[in-house]
Structure 1
Amino acid sequence: MTLIIDTRTEPERALTGACDTLGMGLPVAIPTETVYGLAADATNPDAITRIYEMKGRPRFNPLICHVCDLDMARRHVVFDPISLALAEAFWPGPLTLILPMKPESGVHPLASAGLDTLGIRMPDGFSRRVIERYGKPLAAPSANTSGRISPTTAAHVADDLGGKVALILDDGPAGIGLESTIIKVEGDEIRLLRPGGLDVADIERVTGKTVQRPQTAGAAIEAPGMLASHYAPGAAVRLNASDVTAGEAVIRFGGKVLPGEEKAVLVLDLSRSGDLREAAANLFAYMKQADASGATTIAFGPIPSNGLGEAIIDRIERAAAPREGTQG
């Protein structure tokens, strides 16, 4: 049976329960500012294996390791000057850095999928308190069945993984609602491996450098979220819809009505006011609502590509991609 503890009313019980469960080598669903994560001791191979098994996640897809402070990060990875500046500017927050792993790091190779680099970030909120109390980095992909829609509430986790995960910490809805932005610095070049909850423009502002966008096809898997098909609902997904077919669920943006909406089984607006941050926070929850509506197809209206729109569109494109086996 899955135990759910509300961190807002029982913080000490939540911390103690999480650390006890992690210490037994069992994953815990933890809240972060991005999405809910399925966390386990990054130094324990049995615990990491349980993450992969519970999610049905392929072993070649690396996990992000979460730390509570820069000192913990420095024990496991080597910072170049640009990456350090980014960490100092945006941690805690929705930024993951891909960095060389130190030979003496205790993080198990299963967490890095055998790569000599490690994706690492410092989350904001209650999860950081858990890591600080536990004293070790936590490997934590999103707390959902692999390839499916990421969870932004404890209820989403329970609906998907209930019965598999021993403990879920409930801290309310995730504030950002999109996974972290993933960056890799190579020499003087900054590469975007996955757009996410941190606007690339903010990275460019801090570094004074243009961030190189990811390749569209054939790129090696260097970080989570790079698989072509990901974040997928059970229904098919249609992008940039200009009209609506009978029986579809509609997710639009900015209050822009699509012709034929009266034939839809459900109509949702990510942000009637056109606020991309609000849209990002609503994306996964609205995808779950649309998927539960019985619609065979989810039609997304046009979304601007600036700012967080880049990350929103990335998630929708991956949700719409052909699905070949289990991914994510």
Structure 2
Amino acid sequence: MRVAEILAASEAMERALALLEGGDVVAIPTETVYGLAADATNGVGVARIFEVKGRPRFNPLIAHVADLAMAERIALFDPVSKRLAQTFWPGPLTLVLPQRPGNGIHPLVTAGLDTIALRMPKGFGGQLIASLGRPLAAPSANSSGRISATTAEAVAADLGPKIKLVVDGGATSVGVESTIVKLEGAKLRLLRPGGIAAEEIEAAAGMKLLRGAAGIEAPGMLASHYAPGAAVRVNAAKVAKGEAL
């Protein structure tokens, strides 16, 4: 059975770019969790993300950018969202914004919505996007519904037979997904909690965050999103064979 090649981040750039240019996917390290990346303008590559993860196509993806200039070519920024980007990017904050017409993003990325979720990652992810010159669609590198991977080994154990390359950047520094927010008129809504505390966002935005949303506007909003790959017992006083606390 074929398994993914694992390359250190310092050695993986050329191989990763070749796969992305060819419409394939690459598992990459970010500061939050490992991501399963494809060129966000390439429908074949984006479709591979959904195929590999077993992810429903009505669940939108985050598009990752190299810098604010790239983000502004993709989406329309209001003053509050731009201030948040300038404060927290690169970093674990995702902004849901109106799409800029003609931005070239494949509609599979946004699940047909007129908005798009954008983030600027640190480290290898940001360097890869800058080298490619185009945004990357990149949900977490795990089977849909499973816990997100924070090491290259965890990615390979889950998705190894389905992908060609895992870029090893070591354990992620944040360890959870990005926080997702969206400005709705004069109100800022928290769509998904994550790597940046709500209080930090409120301080930078100068307004309180609202919680909850009516529909699926961003990744991580399905009723069942993350689940361990084993049975769970509650109120367990002792550990049985094959279990862990």
TM bracket (short chain): over 0.9
For residue 14 of structure 1, report the CA deviation from its aligned partner: 1.0
Q: Which amino acid aligns with 1:29?
A: A
Picking from 130, 140, 143, the partner of 2:141 is: 143
Picking from 5, 8, 11, the partner of 1:6 is: 8
Task: Say if 2:224 is the partner of 1:222.
Answer: no
Give, in whole Å, the separation in 2 of the partners of 1:172 and 1:229: 28
Task: Say if 2:226 is the partner of 1:231.
Answer: yes
Q: Which amino acid aligns with 2:15?
A: G
Listed one character per residue, the Cα deviations across residues 239-288 of structure 1 (whole Å, up to 9, x for unaligned) are: xx6x42xxxxxxxxxxxxxxx3xx214xxxxxxxxxxxxxxxxxxxxxxx
Q: What is the aligned partner in structure 1 of residue 86 from structure 2?
A: 88
For residue 164 of structure 1, report the CA deviation from its aligned partner: 0.8
**Structure with greater contact order relative to length (CA < 8 Å, sep ≥ 6):** 2
Q: Please give the secondary structure, in 2, of the residue aligned with 1:50.
A: helix
Q: What is the aligned partner in structure 2 of residue 264 from structure 1?
A: 239
Give, in whole Å, the separation in 1 of the partners of 2:192 and 2:39: 24
Give, in whole Å, the separation in 2 of the partners of 1:96 and 1:237: 31
Where do 5+ consecutive residues of structure 1 fail to align?
A: 245-259, 266-292, 300-328
How many pairs does the alignment contain?
Answer: 243
Picking from 154, 160, 169, the partner of 1:162 is: 160
Task: Say if 2:242 is the partner of 1:294.
Answer: yes
For residue 237 of structure 1, report the CA deviation from its aligned partner: 3.8
For residue 179 of structure 1, report the CA deviation from its aligned partner: 0.2
Backbone CA RMSD of aligned residues: 1.4
| Larger radius of gyration between Structure 1 and Structure 2 | 1
Task: Say if 2:201 is the partner of 1:203.
Answer: yes
Listed one character per residue, the Cα deviations across residues 269-324 of structure 1 (whole Å, up to 9, x for unaligned) are: xxxxxxxxxxxxxxxxxxxxxxxx733xx77xxxxxxxxxxxxxxxxxxxxxxxxx
Listed one character per residue, the Cα deviations across residues 145-203 of structure 1 (whole Å, up to 9, x for unaligned) are: 10111100000000000021111100000000000000000121000000000101001
Q: Please give the secondary structure, in 1, of the residue aligned with 2:107.
A: coil
What is the TM-score of this pair, normalised by structure 2? Answer: 0.96
Q: What is the aligned partner in structure 1 of residue 116 from structure 2?
A: 118
Give, in whole Å, the separation in 2 of the partners of 1:18 and 1:178: 24
Where do 5+ consecutive residues of structure 2 fail to align?
A: none
For residue 139 of structure 1, report the CA deviation from its aligned partner: 0.2
Q: Which amino acid aligns with 2:202?
A: E
Quote the sequence identity (%): 58
